Structure 1
């Protein structure tokens, strides 16, 4: 009896909420008496299902939208509380200090010098080095921070990578103790800015045996002649690491060339389509005299140069991950907000397929570089380890940024949505620190035992 009474009560409440005109229209289409007889035969579960289907379950609330999160396998949860706090601190800096201004500077191809002091305050420069004011953290942590920076902008990441990795790294790995004491503390505080000059106008991939910039010792000085190209930070750096071939012994050596040294000139490279905030330069050295005390004392062959490149190539793989993550998260946010045909485009199957493909590649990249940095922390990193990660991550980044642009339609080419910048910057990341072809040959040599280099 109570069950019947409950059904009548529910029906009465439903009746009170029905618009009479709407009921009359419904009666013209269906046999209401037959409908009511059938409804009366339903048990409680069936009736509840019917009410839910008809929208009568007013207690139902839509599920909250999942967060925009590119760390699908929760690698961030593997960090300590202190490391996680530093990660989020850098993320907040990039989102509050860099994101609001970066498109303006990217469009003008200028560098926001006002952020250097703020970036220095994070105390992350020279993050893995021991002593000289450096934090001495893990390579995994350095990778995480690189990803966080590139997640917002790759140009700032490149500026930082040149400063903290290539320039400081050259001195940290190959300098004398006196050189380390002179340069590293100021560079760690970013009061002194560094650059790294290896690539030349006609020599990129063939730098190991083809450098044309020369060094000739004359008494207590070295005379440098030649040109360098694509040298980030060079237009305003206080010191530039110049790699040159010793005319007398044929070996590659490194030199600390101070800003303002006679015979050292820079020309900004204009009209770039990628990493436009980075101030790349062509450097011309004309009888540029450098004292012996400013020669990197432990850089005596290109193998020494390679030690620096191996260390920083892992960072470029992390930068690619950050660029891809930024593009994916921007695209996901856009598709959840952009409506077509009356609902968010994220609800459509083809859009979800693109998003899942992007996330799959991103997750594979993240787990790869995480393990890469673990190998580096264990002292087991090899050239082929770094090269494989650089090849795979930069290749997959191109695919991710392309799909991010695709799901945004025409808006994907506008700077205001960020993805256009990620698309362009991914092209530069794909090529620098060793092309796909060169890095592939490094891995190929390791797995086959045959060197396919010319």
Structure 2
């Protein structure tokens, strides 16, 4: 019988200071190697085509589950002992090949499963987390609304009214990733009795619950974002998340996932940088490779500096998370800084490709477009900076 050797984890050229080898355990490096091999062989060859068609490749879900991408932080679903550092590095590996796949994993594992793990009862955890960890059940996270995004803590308009052992939900959600095919959607709604935000598990096919795909999107086109309408949707009390009493529990979920989005942003920058380095090595102008020009090398050095600084910041944030010291302000600074540097980096990369920078086949155009969505979700730069500013000054500047 022939055995296939396990892949080894080479250091990325963009990991200029070699953070990977010092940050990950041997087990985590092996898992990262399997993830990288999967992304290179199963996702990279199809990503541009699916992005162009705005379709989701459902065939990759079992493979992502097999290598432990869903629910890595929860005992019911973790495939191996891992840290927040590993989960962050995994987000980088996903993002450097396809930001849409990274976002799908973030919605399934980070937002949906974490909501159930943090807000759910032991029975709900046992019912939902294992099949979600195996990729047999797909989840979505319904927080953002047509008229409520950054102000969700105070501006949530979807309502929940209790009638005996049933809750009736009315309202609308927007930009909900995975929602067109999700088996269960975590819906956040304001209780009409006490005005507090509560969480509910709404199953696909529930009467009054409808989804429609958001079309003509120009970023993260593989992600199936949807508008959701809730028109008298009835949910049993058994499907309410009992450990959610206010928006504070939503904030706990967002704190965990925000740090991983920062890592995803680093991955987007790395992917664009790698594609650009390869391009300038073979593209000739004035009889010389672009790589031989001083201004090109200067831009590449600036890109690498952005990536290196962002890895260092994200790495410390993940270490703080492992130590139980990660606050909202720490996650906010990581997300705001990393996405800003990502946006700058992908713009420089697009610039270095000239006209080819807007043509999909060269890879950078997809990163350039996808970066705009990563820059905005899980808190805009401005909102994250206000969270940090409140920590700096002790004064809230939120309206």
- TM range, smaller chain: over 0.9
- Confirm or deny that 1:167 pairs with 2:112: yes
Please say if 1:97 is aligned against 2:5: no
Cα offset, 1:137, TM superposition: 1.3
Instruction: Tell me the residue number matched to 2:18.
Output: 74
Instruction: Give CA-to-partner distance per residue, 1:384-426, whole Å, 9 cap, x none.
Output: 0000011111111011001111111111111111100000010
> 1:436 — aligned with what?
381
CA RMSD of aligned residues (A): 1.1
Quote how far apart the aligned CAs of 1:121 are. 1.6
Distance 1:156 1:68 in 2: 20
Greater RCO structure (CA 8 Å; 6+ sep): 2
Q: Secondary structure at the match of 1:151?
A: helix
CA deviation map 1:317-341 (0-9, x unaligned) = 0110000000011111111121222
Question: How far is the alpha carbon of 1:120 from its aligned partner?
Answer: 1.5
Structure 1 runs not aligned, ≥5 long: 1-66
Alignment of 1:398 with 2:355, yes or no, is no
Residue in 2 aligned with 1:228?
Answer: 173
Matches within 5 A, 1:47-446: 69-78=13-22, 79-132=24-77, 134-446=79-391
1:133 Cα offset (Å)? 5.1
Kept after mapping to 2: 8 A contact 1:345/1:351: yes
Corresponding position: 1:453 with 2:398: yes
Normalising by structure 1, we get a TM-score of: 0.84
Query: 1:128, 1:134 within 8 Å by CA — same for their partners in 2?
Result: no
Which structure 2 residue ranges, 5 or more long, are not aligned?
A: 1-10
**In the aligned structure 2, how far is the partner of 1:136 from the partner of 1:260?**
36
Q: Residue by residue, what CA displacement relative to the aligned partner does 1:50-97 show, whole Å, maximum 9, x if unpaired?
A: xxxxxxxxxxxxxxxxx9711001011112222212112111111111
8 Å CA contact 2:108–2:139 kept in 1: the answer is yes
How far does the alpha carbon of each residue in 1:113-135 deviate from its partner, in whole angstroms, 9 at most, with x for none?
A: 11111222212311122234554
CA contact (8 A) 1:368 1:389 kept: yes
Report the TM-score when normalising by structure 2.
Answer: 0.96
**CA distance, structure 2, for counterparts of residue 201 and residue 68 of structure 1:** 40
For residues 261 and 63 of structure 2, what CA distance do their matches in structure 1 show?
23
Distance across 1 between alignment mates of 2:99 and 2:43: 11
Partner of 1:54: none
| Contact 2:100/2:223 (8 A) holds in 1 | yes
Kept in 2: contact 1:246–1:253 (CA 8 A): yes
Q: Residues 129 and 136 of structure 1 are in contact (CA less than 8 Å); yes or no, is this contact kept in structure 2?
A: no
The aligned length equals: 388
Counterpart-to-counterpart distance in 2, 1:274 and 1:395: 16
Larger Rg: 1
Task: Please say if residues 317 and 334 of structure 2, whose CA atoms lie closer than 8 Å, have aligned partners that are also in contact.
Answer: yes
Q: Structure 1 residues 87, 322: closer, same or farther in 2, change over 3 A?
A: same
Cα distance in structure 1, aligned partners of 2:349 and 2:37? 23
Bigger mean CA offset, 340-349 vs 357-366: 340-349
The corresponding residue for 1:20 is none
CA distance in 2, matches of 1:85, 1:415: 32
| Structure 1 residue 229, shift from structure 2 partner | 0.3
**Separation in 1 of the partners of 2:344 and 2:114?**
31
C-alpha contact (below 8 Å) 2:70/2:133 kept by paired residues:
yes
* Partner secondary structure for residue 92 of structure 2: helix
Structure 2 match to 1:17: none
In the alignment, is the contact (CA less than 8 A) between 2:72 and 2:78 conserved in 1?
no
CA distance in 2, matches of 1:68, 1:419: 18
**Aligned counterparts of 1:308 and 1:259: Cα–Cα separation in 2:** 22
Greater displacement, 330-339 / 124-133 = 124-133
Which 4+ stretches in 1 moved above 3 angstroms?
132-136
